[in-house]
Structure 1
Amino acid sequence: MNKQVIFKKRPIGNVEADVFELQNNAIPELEEGEILIQQHYVSLDPAMRGWMNDTKSYIPPMAIDSVMRAGSIGKVIQNNNNPKFEIGDCVTSWGGVQQYVVTNGDGWYKVDERLAPMPMYIGTLGMPGMTAYFGIQEVGKIKEGDIVLVSGAAGAVGSIVGQIAKIKGCTVIGIAGGKEKCDYIKNELGFDDAIDYKSENIYTALKKKCPKGVDVFFDNVGGLILNAALSKLRMHARVVICGAISQYNNKSKIDGPSNYLSLLVTRSTMQGMVVMDYAKDYAIAAKQMGVWMKEGKLKSREDVYEGIENFQETYNRLFSGDKNGKLVLKVIE
């Protein structure tokens, strides 16, 4: 039997328990060319909240009564004459929040768990890592000497963005919530400074810690923090819009930047980025980040919780901030 988290209704505001239903369904027999994957871990990401809305986006919205969309990783345990895979292969793709997946293998990729643990392949070496790698370099266009500001700096994407910027010779200031997270990005990840938005006035802190302004702002949060950062742009700065987690559960309209004319005054750019646009170069990025990890320049932290029945509770940690690093759910029993 296959335990599956089924998407039952579109949420308004916070995601409550009745949005999902845990079902236990039979695994279908394999047809010719299909494989059966036993999933070990699923990825929990802020983007999930947007997928639940019936609105135009970079990816179709979740369909009611479908398995909740999620990145995942697991192992092939049955194979009905699929030549691309062998039993025991470790594979990753968009398997959704369920324990088993029957597939013809399209869109699934083999990874080597001898080189890195499974959760890392849906974290630093997966979508969050790719987002950081291409977002800060291709969209942010960082160069040595830049002053880089990162919101959501202790999260799965922000923590990697800051480390890559440091590797590239930038000064990096991270915005995070709470002393523990601020200490983590400074003392363990090597950020030059941190702003605790929970205890500091964001405008005062930016004036103090970014006195010369900001060349690149990588935003995962939106709202007030985006507004504040726009006030500190240097000439020809780049603003990367990766996410806006502060706005995802709004019941009314999204709070957009009220001081966007800062872009005009400083001749700056603001550009959105979606990681799927860079899919053809994922292998290049993963190889480079693997090298940085071996050299001790790039650190990874996965916050792993257990039990598919705990999906909704664990998912909400994305918005409460009650997590450390990449949020992952172990679904194998």
Structure 2
Amino acid sequence: MPQSAHINRQILLASRPVGAPTEANFKIVESEVPKPGPGQMLLRNLWMSLDPYMRGRMSDAKSYAEPVPVGGVMTAGTVARVMESNLEGYQPGDLVMAYTGGWQDYTLSDGSMVFKQNPDMKRPSQAVGVLGMPGFTGYMGLMDIGQPKAGETVVVAAATGPVGAVVGQVAKLQGCRVVGIAGGAEKCGYAEAELGFDACLDHKRDDLAERLAAACPDGIDVYFENVGGKVFDAVMPLLNAHARVPVCGLISQYNATSLPNGPDRMPLLMRLLLSQRIRMQGFIIFDNYGPRYPEFLEVMTPWVDAGKVKVKEDVVEGLENAPQAFMGLLEGRNFGKLVVHIAD
């Protein structure tokens, strides 16, 4: 949808969802493009990332980050051009990745959580994908908490998503056996044929636990947790002594309004953690690893450029289509890193 260069479209949180978000939870408004004051710059958002964590920001439940206020702009990381700058170190035309961008055409920024990018990078959207928060999450969670060693078995769910795809490919580069779990035969085929996973299991089929056990005859040494639910139930009995479980997300539970049916699994998990001496650690990427972002880029950028880490994007055209795309993300309808193309 073309829009005036003088108008800033914003998508607001209209109300807090109960269960899965609906269109009624979002509201699109238009206002004048803001003017940067002293120590500020005006960013024109070009690409916007859609990620599962945003569901948590729509809720006012206690979490690691402040919720989006009702009537506030939905939060998001964006790739943007600097349009005007009263901020030292930034000039009009600079390409940046901003984690304060939000679901809008233009953003005022004081430079916090803004990272300069190569102004001529071929695929700027990668700055919010494989070279941004999702890739950073997968790499640091695997390497720092998972600590994979050659010959070990690494399992990752949401295997073709932006985090899982990085986890699996980096684990292969470390010499590990990699088993992915994904939703649908097409995604599993892609993980095996294109990403180089040793196996990928469709969680939509029956008997996931039995099929996972067959795919991991030597047990599981690293399980990268980003889904939870029935996938973790299948993983638990296979965790080896001294297994490592980085926990970065629980997407299967984000729309839940109550605890799952069935027996209380907590005693089983606690006994397993003790008897198998398992390291299970939650992490929030910029909270735990923010200063190490340049270190990550130094390693990942050459891998991406050389094709050692492959990238798949699911591109949505137009800011106005973000709510529908986000609702689909929470149901697993995307295939690859979900990004919104806002402007050229």
Taking structure 2 as the reference length, the TM-score comes to 0.93
1:226 and 1:257 in contact (8 A); partners too:
no
Q: Which runs of 4+ in 1 moved over 4 A?
A: 254-258
Q: Structure 2 matches for 1:208-219, cutoff 5 A?
A: 208-219=214-225
- Structure 1: how far apart are the matches of 2:260 and 2:60? 15
1:230 and 1:263 in contact (8 A); partners too:
no
- Structure 2: how far apart are the matches of 1:266 and 1:44? 37
The residue that corresponds to 2:3 in the other structure is none
Measured at CA, do residues 172 and 113 of structure 1 come closer, stay the same or move farther in structure 2, by a change above 3 Å?
farther
- Structure 1: how far apart are the matches of 2:31 and 2:58? 22
The residue that corresponds to 1:266 in the other structure is 276
Q: CA RMSD in A?
A: 1.5
Quote how far apart the aligned CAs of 1:137 are. Answer: 0.6
The reply on whether 1:291 has 2:297 as its aligned counterpart is no
- Structure 2: how far apart are the matches of 1:157 and 1:315? 17
The reply on whether 1:139 has 2:150 as its aligned counterpart is no
The residue that corresponds to 2:338 in the other structure is 327
2:179 and 2:197 in contact (8 A); partners too:
yes
- Structure 2: how far apart are the matches of 1:34 and 1:242? 33
Same amino acid, percent of matched pairs: 39
The reply on whether 1:278 has 2:289 as its aligned counterpart is yes
Partner SS state of residue 162, structure 2: coil
Deviates more, 1:99-108 or 1:160-169: 99-108
Given candidates 20, 25, 39, the residue that maps to 1:19 is 25
Partner SS state of residue 105, structure 1: coil
Equivalent residue letter for 2:302: V
- Structure 1: how far apart are the matches of 2:118 and 2:306? 19
Quote how far apart the aligned CAs of 1:116 are. Answer: 4.1
Partner SS state of residue 296, structure 2: helix
Summarize deviations over 1:171-220 as a string: whole Å, max 9, x none: 00000011100000100000000111112411111121112110000111
Aligned length: 332
Summarize deviations over 1:257-316 as a string: whole Å, max 9, x none: 453022222121211121011010101101101111233211111111011111110101
Given candidates 212, 233, 244, the residue that maps to 1:238 is 244
Quote how far apart the aligned CAs of 1:168 are. Answer: 0.6
Given candidates 46, 52, 55, the residue that maps to 1:49 is 55
Equivalent residue letter for 1:82: L
Given candidates 310, 315, 332, the residue that maps to 2:326 is 315
- Structure 1: how far apart are the matches of 2:46 and 2:260? 36
Quote how far apart the aligned CAs of 1:319 are. Answer: 2.0
Deviates more, 1:88-97 or 1:316-325: 316-325
Quote how far apart the aligned CAs of 1:28 are. Answer: 2.6
The residue that corresponds to 2:189 in the other structure is 183
Given candidates 23, 29, 37, the residue that maps to 1:31 is 37
Quote how far apart the aligned CAs of 1:113 are. Answer: 4.2
Partner SS state of residue 108, structure 2: strand
The residue that corresponds to 2:87 in the other structure is 82
2:35 and 2:42 in contact (8 A); partners too:
no
Equivalent residue letter for 2:110: N
The residue that corresponds to 2:176 in the other structure is 170
Quote how far apart the aligned CAs of 1:15 are. Answer: 0.3
Equivalent residue letter for 2:301: G
Segments of 5+ residues of structure 1 without an aligned counterpart are none
Equivalent residue letter for 1:88: G
Summarize deviations over 1:137-181 as a string: whole Å, max 9, x none: 111111111100101111110010000000011100000011100
Deviates more, 1:254-263 or 1:103-112: 254-263
Given candidates 64, 68, 78, the residue that maps to 2:74 is 68
Partner SS state of residue 113, structure 2: coil
Given candidates 2, 22, 43, the residue that maps to 2:8 is 2
Quote how far apart the aligned CAs of 1:82 are. Answer: 2.3
The residue that corresponds to 1:91 in the other structure is 96
